[in-house]
Structure 1
Amino acid sequence: MSTTAKPMTGRKVLLIALSAFGVIITVNLVMAWNAVSTFPGLEVHNSYVASQVFDKNRAAQEALGWTVTPDYHNGLLSLTIRDADGLPAKVGELSAVVGRTTHTREDITPDFVQQGGSYVAPMSLTSGAWLVHLDAKAADGTLFRQRLELFVKG
């Protein structure tokens, strides 16, 4: 029983090349579609207008001297906000959006309750990287915005 190898023809080489490039192009198209469809969007509606007040807002925020420490434990998200002296900051209003860093499908807007020097909200976060977009106002009306990274161990 003898086996003879079939010769490599130009047609076979063309089919192999087309198949390889077809796979590469298909994967690239799928990855590009996923990247565009999961992009959360713009940070600001008009970047020129936002740039006109950026330095003023940053200086006012830095003058507050606030530091924010996020923590997640036993189903509770807590944000501890301290002033320049290390005391609980006088926060007039507080809101936040908690979500993944790569998409908006899991975004949550928690209802915080002040407990001592922290703001606490019950949440169910799965393990991994989370991002907290914090918007707060000081008692004097100064706007405080910060993005906080939070890693939940699983």
Structure 2
Amino acid sequence: MTREIKGWHVFTVFALAFGTIIAVNLTLAVSAVRSFPGLEVRNSYVASQSFDADRAAQLSLGWDVSATLEGNELRLVILDHGRPIAPVIESAVFGRATSVAADQAPQFGFDGTALRARVEAGRGNWNLRLKARAEDGTLFQQRLIVKVVP
């Protein structure tokens, strides 16, 4: 026995299909807005005016910077032409890339080879947003992806 498809059947299928799509899109949009960590700069145009000069000054320092996480110890290595240094850390924020809920401000101590700090870290991806000042006054700023050492 076959049943006849009526107009209200077709309407119901389309309404359910598009309703599902709209509900999923709204859920993802709300989730994206809630987890947005914020702006990098207030005015991107103003920041862009000095970008090339700032970048050239930062690159002229010749620093090689890396960050690793071993357990709950954050290790920041800054090499100036192969020699470990401890510049003035103006700000350091250790946290997730997608949320500010777990952000921490590590207090670094220099042990002669690296800057070390205790942090509360769990599994997953972590970033270190670093601003350090060189001896000549040049600002070094970079967002580092922290490598987790097993």
Tell me if both proteins adopt one fold, taking TM over 0.5 as the criterion.
Answer: yes
- Deviation by residue 1:14-64 (Cα, 9 ceiling, x = unmatched): 112211111111111111111122222221112222122212211211111
Q: Could you tell me which amino acid in structure 1 is paired with residue 148 of structure 2?
A: V
Structure 2 equivalent of residue 95 of structure 1: 91
Q: Distance in 2 between matches of 1:153 and 1:68?
A: 16
Find the aligned partners of 1:43 and 1:21 in 2 and give their Cα distance. Answer: 36
Q: In the alignment, does 2:31 pair up with 1:22?
A: no
* Aligned positions, number: 150
1:112 corresponds in structure 2 to: 108
The 8 Å contact of residues 66 and 146 in structure 2, kept in 1 or not, is answered as no
| Cα distance between partner residues in 2 of 1:54 and 1:60 | 10
1:44-99 superposed Cα distances (whole Å, 9 cap, x missing partner): 11222212221221121111111112111131001011101x11125133431111
Structure 1 CA distance for aligned equivalents of residues 86 and 72 of structure 2: 25
* Runs of 5+ unmatched residues, structure 1: none
Between structure 1 and structure 2, the one with the greater Rg is 1
- TM-score, normalised with respect to structure 2: 0.89
Percent identity over paired residues: 45
TM-score, normalised relative to structure 1: 0.87
After TM superposition, the structure 1 = structure 2 runs for residues 4-153 of structure 1, keeping only pairs within 5 Å, are: 6-84=3-81, 86-152=82-148
Which structure would you say has the larger RCO, counting Cα contacts within 8 Å and 6 or more residues apart?
A: 2
2: distance between equivalents of 1:153 and 1:79? 13
In structure 2, C-alpha distance between the alignment counterparts of 1:147 and 1:135, rounded to whole Å: 9
The letter for the 2-side match of 1:119 is L
Across the aligned residues of Structure 1 and Structure 2, the Cα RMSD in angstroms comes to 1.8
